[in-house]
Amino acid sequence: MSARFVPRSTFAYDRIINWFPGHMLKGMRLISERLNSVDLVVEVRDARIPLASVNPNFEKLVGRKPRLVVYNKQDLADPSTLAPVQAALARQGTPSVFTSCQTGQDVRSILKHAAELADPIPHVTLMVVGMPNVGKSSLINQLRHFGVGRGKAAATGAQPGITRTVANTVKVLEHPAVYLIDTPGVMMPHIGDPVQSVRVALTGGIRDNLAGETTLVDYLLFELNRRHLFDYTERFRLDEPTNDVHVLLDAVARRIGAILKGGELDHNQASKFLLKQFRQGKFGRMTLDDVRDADTFFDQLEKPLPPSRRVAKKLAKLAHRKEERRRQTDGEARNA
């Protein structure tokens, strides 16, 4: 069936998605203010996008403060991509752990890492940071469950941006005493690579409506096809794989009964269904980033961030005005 099918080699998308509401800017300020009272920064990332879920602003903010990188949702990521990322971070001198809040896998190792800092200091304070919807609040609840046997300390939800303020300290371990500070998910003010922003949105880090549900499903279809994961054809009763997202949405809408008045197929409901299925791992364990370049990527984090388009335009205008003034001054000097 799929022998004749040729998947797309690239995903054509050039729209810049920027999502940096006011509470994120405030959150960055509050994180900076409380950082001096913190013994360890726990930066949570998404194992499905181990590179795209890195916020370079945290690198600058955290500086030389001890840090543990936690790749959450490892149960949804391709297992073969975990070791290369962990090895690349180790070469940078950054310890890391892969966890799953669904299964509780390796969550205790975070507490163990924190407890090792308790000598000689009497207690340890952690600060949890990360981009939206990487599972920070779920991780905190798991830490409390394993550490002190208590219930939820932080609200959780499928939409990014649930936590909006820097919370008070919460105890997550009795002996030694380990306390934790939750923080809001903070997105990069500017993502230069449009496709990278789609990856972040597909995993739930950016609100679906900003990229558009159809665009996200189209990228999901692109990823399924290029990995030769064609099970969706049988599942949604397609004769063969397709590169046309509308063909897929038609099939899904029929399969789930998403039909509007007049018999029109509801692509919106079909898109929401597919996105939910992907985020629950129904299409298998997938890592969207190419981790073969992990070493190069982490090396680049030490370099200054490129300016956003808006900032770049302002800098270009200032440079142009400066050059105009220089030429005017030179002309006046020659005429004098």
What are the tens digits of pLDDT across the range 201-241?
A: 999 999 999 999 999 999 999 999 999 999 999 999 999 99
Query: Considering just the CA atoms, what is the radius of gyration of the chain in Å?
Result: 23
**Residues 6 or more apart from 38 whose CB is under 8 A from it?**
65, 125, 126, 127, 181
**Residues 6 or more apart from 188 whose CB is under 8 A from it?**
20, 55, 56, 57, 131
Find the mean pLDDT for residues 168-178: 89
Cis amide prior to 120 (ω within 30 degrees): yes
Element (H, E) at 9: none
Region of residue 84 (phi > 0: left; psi between -120 and 50: alpha; otherwise: beta): alpha
Q: Is the pLDDT of residue 268 over 50?
A: yes
Q: How many CB atoms lie within 10 A of CB 297?
A: 18
74 is an annotated ligand-binding site residue = yes
Minimal CA–CA distance to 196: which of 21, 78, 48, 6? 48
Q: CATH 3.40.50.300 residue ranges in the chain?
A: 22-189+290-305
CATH number of 194-280: 1.10.1580.10
134 is an annotated ligand-binding site residue = yes
In whole angstroms, give the CA distance from residue 121 to residue 38: 12
272 is an annotated ligand-binding site residue = no
Give per-residue pLDDT as tens, 179-191. 999 998 899 888 8
The larger pLDDT score, comparing residue 156 to residue 141, is at 141
Q: Is the pLDDT of residue 331 over 80?
A: no
Find the mean pLDDT for residues 135-160: 75
138 is an annotated ligand-binding site residue = yes
Find the mean pLDDT for residues 268-273: 98
Question: 274 near 38, Cβ under 8 Å?
Answer: no
The larger pLDDT score, comparing residue 293 to residue 40, is at 40
Q: Is the pLDDT of residue 322 over 70?
A: no
List the 40-46 sheet strands across, edge first: 96-98, 67-72, 40-46, 123-130, 177-181, 169-173
β-pair partners for 126? 40, 180
pLDDT range class, residue 98, cuts 50, 70, 90: very high
Lowest mean pLDDT among 152-156, 255-259, 281-285, 322-326: 152-156
pLDDT range class, residue 164, cuts 50, 70, 90: very low
72 is an annotated ligand-binding site residue = yes
73 is an annotated ligand-binding site residue = yes
pLDDT range class, residue 20, cuts 50, 70, 90: confident
Find the mean pLDDT for residues 34-39: 92
pLDDT range class, residue 313, cuts 50, 70, 90: low
pLDDT range class, residue 325, cuts 50, 70, 90: confident
Q: What is the pLDDT of residue 19?
A: 84
Q: For the whole model, what pTM was predicted?
A: 0.83
Give per-residue pLDDT as tens, 238-252. 999 999 999 999 999
pLDDT range class, residue 112, cuts 50, 70, 90: very high
Q: What is the pLDDT of residue 311?
A: 47
Burial class, 224, CB count within 10 angstroms (exposed 0-12 / middle 13-18 / buried 19+)? buried
141 is an annotated ligand-binding site residue = no
Q: CATH 1.10.1580.10 residue ranges in the chain?
A: 194-280
Q: How many CB atoms lie within 10 A of CB 291?
A: 20
Q: Is the pLDDT of residue 127 over 90?
A: yes
CATH topology of domain 22-189+290-305: Rossmann fold (3.40.50)
Minimal CA–CA distance to 304: which of 63, 56, 25, 43? 56
Cα dihedral across residues 242, 244, 248, 250: positive or negative? negative
Element (H, E) at 190: none
Which alpha helices (DSSP H) does 158-266 contain, by range? 194-202, 208-211, 213-226, 231-235, 245-256
pLDDT range class, residue 119, cuts 50, 70, 90: confident
Which alpha helices (DSSP H) does the chain contain, by range? 22-34, 56-62, 82-91, 107-115, 136-148, 194-202, 208-211, 213-226, 231-235, 245-256, 267-279, 294-300, 309-335
Reported residue count of the chain is 336
133 is an annotated ligand-binding site residue = yes
**Percent of all residues in the chain with a pLDDT value above 90, rounded to a whole number:** 65
26 is an annotated ligand-binding site residue = no
Q: What is the pLDDT of residue 293?
A: 87
Question: 126 near 39, Cβ under 8 Å?
Answer: yes
Q: Is the pLDDT of residue 165 over 50?
A: no
